[in-house]
């Protein structure tokens, strides 16, 4: 099966699922807050599979870290405890587990990768859920639609006419042509989402959503490049056979790992 066929089939399925989530989430909120943590956990496990942690004794740390991800994710929505407490407790739990298990084989690398997955994926996707609660359903739709539109435009434009490599040592297939097409596609989709889903007074604030679209797009592109960086630096064979490495949930969420904090920061600065 070609990469294009896989992308189209998986993309079509996920588009239907996301569209269904949006339809239900608008009236029965917050459905997204139930589904996003599950997607984060699946992506986190896939990341560990890519790094070779879903095999042997290392599997313990991968599964434990994925579970701790719910603690970090929940800290965005539970007033009883804050993010700092959740992160501190998660790091302490991993270090304590390492000491009690007396597992010194490659312990710096294993614990480092476990912490990277723990502090990256649920933390960044937690911000997407926070945007839903703090700023409304329309900004979550904006984030996902703009980031994925940029990702798709970059892929198709880069495949069709990509000639000048963007960062070949990190991702040999990404091009400047694809990057430019990604920005243009994101702006067009941003206009469509803003005109259809935003309140009139918010749509009238063109600077707000245009800057937001550019930041989401750049965050999405760098998030995708970070996946390429990890893919080239990690062992991509999941010998445990538990999680299909790449092309799955991690590929689905990588665009949001930097796009979510970029949008959150802009909305805070702009006092939207």
Q: Which helix (H) or strand (E) holds 68?
A: helix 59-74
Spatial CB neighbours of 66, under 8 Å, sequence gap ≥ 6: 41, 44, 45, 48, 117
The per-residue pLDDT for 40 is: 85
Contact (Cβ atoms closer than 8 angstroms) between residue 155 and residue 179: no
183 is in which domain, residue-wise? 3-270
- What's residue 53's pLDDT? 86
Q: Rounded to the nearest 5 degrees, what angle is found at the Cα of 203, between the Cα atoms of 202 and 205? A: 70
Structure tokens at 135: 């700023």
Predicted local distance difference test score (pLDDT) of residue 137: 86
Please identify which residue in the block is written with the tokens 């797009």. Answer: 217
Q: Quick one: pLDDT at residue 30?
A: 65
Write out the two tokens for 151: 């990702």
pLDDT value of residue 6: 54
Per-residue pLDDT of the chain (272 residues; tens, 9 = 90+): 455 555 555 555 555 556 566 666 766 666 677 777 888 888 899 888 888 888 887 888 889 998 898 888 888 877 666 888 888 999 999 989 888 887 777 888 888 889 888 888 888 888 888 888 889 888 988 998 899 888 888 888 888 887 888 888 888 788 889 899 999 999 999 999 999 889 999 999 999 999 999 999 999 999 888 877 776 666 444 434 444 444 477 877 888 889 999 999 999 999 75
Q: What is the pLDDT of residue 34?
A: 75
CA angle 80, 85, 87 (to 5 degrees): 130
**CB distance 47 to 236 below 8 Å:** no
For residue range 169-185, list pLDDT tens digits in order: 888 788 889 899 999 99
Q: What is the pLDDT of residue 201?
A: 93
Q: Which helix (H) or strand (E) holds 163?
A: none
Structure tokens, 105? 């084989």
Residue 58 CB burial class (10 angstroms; 0-12, 13-18, ≥19): buried
Number of structural domains the chain divides into: 1
* Distance from C-alpha of 224 to C-alpha of 255, rounded to nearest angstrom: 5
């Amino acid at each position: 099966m070609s990469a294009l066929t896989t992308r189209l089939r998986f993309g079509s399925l996920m588009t239907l699922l996301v569209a269904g989530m949006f339809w239900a989430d608008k009236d029965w909120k917050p459905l997204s807050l139930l589904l996003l943590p599950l997607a984060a956990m699946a992506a986190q496990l896939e990341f560990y599979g890519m790094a070779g942690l879903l095999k042997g004794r290392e599997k313990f740390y991968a599964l434990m870290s994925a579970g701790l991800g719910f603690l970090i994710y929940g800290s965005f929505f539970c007033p009883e405890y804050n993010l700092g407490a959740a992160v501190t407790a998660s790091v302490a739990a991993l270090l304590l587990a390492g000491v009690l298990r007396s597992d010194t084989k490659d312990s710096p690398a294993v614990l480092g990768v476990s912490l990277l997955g723990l502090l990256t994926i649920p933390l960044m996707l937690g911000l997407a859920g926070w945007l839903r609660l703090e700023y409304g359903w329309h900004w979550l739709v904006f984030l996902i639609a703009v980031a994925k539109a940029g990702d798709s435009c970059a892929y198709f434009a880069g495949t069709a006419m990509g000639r000048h490599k963007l960062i070949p040592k990190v991702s040999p297939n990404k091009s400047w042509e694809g990057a430019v097409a990604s920005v243009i596609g994101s702006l067009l989709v941003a206009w469509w989402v803003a005109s259809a889903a935003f309140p009139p007074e918010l749509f009238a604030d063109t600077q707000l959503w245009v800057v937001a679209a550019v930041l989401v797009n750049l965050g999405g592109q760098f998030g995708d490049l970070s996946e390429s960086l990890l893919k080239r630096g990690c062992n991509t064979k999941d010998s445990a056979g538990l999680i299909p490495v790449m092309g799955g949930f991690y590929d689905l969420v990588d665009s949001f790992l930097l796009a979510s904090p970029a949008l959150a920061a802009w909305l805070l600065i702009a006092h939207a």
